[in-house]
Amino acid sequence: MSTQPLDEGLARVRADLLAEDRLVRAVGSGRRRSAAPPWRRVELRWVDLKAGRHLQVVRYDATQAHTANHARGGAAEEAVDALLAEPFGNWTVETAERQLSLRVTKKGDAAVHTTARKSEAPVERSHDRAKERLLPEDDPVFAALGLADAQGRIKPSRMAKYRQVEDFLRILDRSVADAIAKGHLRTPTGADPLRVVDLGCGNGYLTFTAQRYLSERRGLPVRLTGVDVKEQSRDHNASVARTLGIEATFVAGTIGDAVLDEAPDVVLALHACDTATDDALARAVGWAAPLVLAAPCCHHDIAAQLRTAPAPAPYASLVRDGILRERFADTLTDTLRALLLRREGYRVDVMEFVDSRHTPRNTLLRAVRTGKPGDGAEYDDLVAAWGISPRLGALLAEPRG
């Protein structure tokens, strides 16, 4: 990564944006220290229309996307210059040969990092293209995991899992790229690869696809570790890793007892049941992991406590009926987890993981370590008001060795 004057860095971005034969996709996001752009995010790519080649710009506000197409030449250049004049804090530009990430520093300079692709990426310019797949159906990982048939087609019975993988990879992609661009996550190298641990990895659907995407499509060196209490999962995943030629370590044991040679950069805990999610989050905090992605599953612990704890007035109706109590327990549990992570120095986003049409377990906690802890007062007030004792709070109160 190099630091250079902002105008020089943006000139490099501009050249890539206007390279109609090489640009794959570009994203502007975030804000600078002194100002915020009018759009939450912008995406750019070149498309071929009946009227000729145009630069397609999609601007996202808080609720929807706004698409505009600008003809090559002066119109496209004006659109690019207008966007580069906005105070976006980050630019990620993918071309056929490389990926460029630019982050505007606190001093107003440009921190620029480039990563060469292992092989040239295709440039898709179809205006009415099918939804872009981060990993195509015929990628070897899907056959090895039993999601695809011998012809490289996703089995109809496994399509929901494939959609889940795609949704997860989109979140992972944005999260890793943004964390690296903003300096929260180091840039991995061949000698010091990105260390990813999946706590409660099960049969490794998301574990292996994460490794495959980050290494093969993003060109990032990755060292993968999976932890699951079942020995069957360890043996199955080790076999899949051998089939795919992936260097990975799989451990049979509890999340709380897992021992790693080095602290991880990225911690995944996807659909770990009930307090297993708390165990995973506590380990992530103990490791000071820069990036954490956790999709909780089941919330029995707090739901059981709400059955016996007196509800604060006037909220008894929230927990009087069983189905409402369970739904409220889901929300309260993840709210408390987010508050605890913020207290421990993380920026936390609570977001949709998978479309609710595909699974009811569709909440994901994305936590990025900033090192700026919160005061925890809101957490203390909620716990006291409801008379509960969250598992994660107890774990984080224990001495850390």
More confident residue, 150 or 15: 15
State the amino acid at position 287 in one-letter form. W
* 4 pLDDT above the threshold of 60: yes
Query: What pLDDT is attached to residue 343?
Result: 97
CA dihedral (315, 359, 357, 211) positive or negative:
positive
Least confident of 99-103, 269-273, 303-307: 269-273
Question: Mean pLDDT, the chain, as a whole number?
Answer: 89
pLDDT per residue as tens digits for the range 171-209:
999 899 999 988 999 999 889 999 999 999 998 889 999
Report the distance separating Cα 88 and Cα 386, nearest Å.
42
Report the distance separating Cα 301 and Cα 391, nearest Å.
8
Query: What pLDDT is attached to residue 302?
Result: 93
More confident residue, 342 or 133: 342
Report the distance separating Cα 241 and Cα 227, nearest Å.
14
Between CA 297 and CA 304, with CA 302 as vertex, the angle to 5 degrees is 105
For the chain, percent of residues with pLDDT exceeding 70: 95
Show the tokens assigned to 130.
């099918």
Report the distance separating Cα 333 and Cα 272, nearest Å.
14
Between CA 208 and CA 214, with CA 213 as vertex, the angle to 5 degrees is 100
Mean pLDDT of 90-104: 92
Query: What pLDDT is attached to residue 175?
Result: 93
Mean pLDDT of 265-290: 93
pLDDT per residue as tens digits for the range 56-83:
999 987 666 788 999 999 999 999 999 9
pLDDT per residue as tens digits for the range 222-236:
999 999 999 999 999
**Does residue 164 contact residue 352 with C-beta atoms inside 8 Å?**
no
| pLDDT band at residue 397 using 50, 70 and 90 as cut-offs | very high
Query: What pLDDT is attached to residue 130?
Result: 45
Point out which residues pair with 268 in neighbouring strands.
Answer: 198, 293
Please spell the DSSP secondary structure of 151-194, one letter per residue: TS-B-GGGHHHHHHHHHHHHHHHHHHHHHHHTTSSPPP-SSS-E
Mean pLDDT of 90-106: 92
Task: Tell me the pTM.
Answer: 0.69
Residues in Cβ contact with 248 at an 8 Å cutoff, skipping those fewer than 6 apart: 211, 223, 224, 225, 226, 237, 238, 241
For the chain, percent of residues with pLDDT exceeding 90: 64
pLDDT per residue as tens digits for the range 346-379:
999 998 876 544 445 578 999 999 999 998 999 9
| pLDDT band at residue 401 using 50, 70 and 90 as cut-offs | low
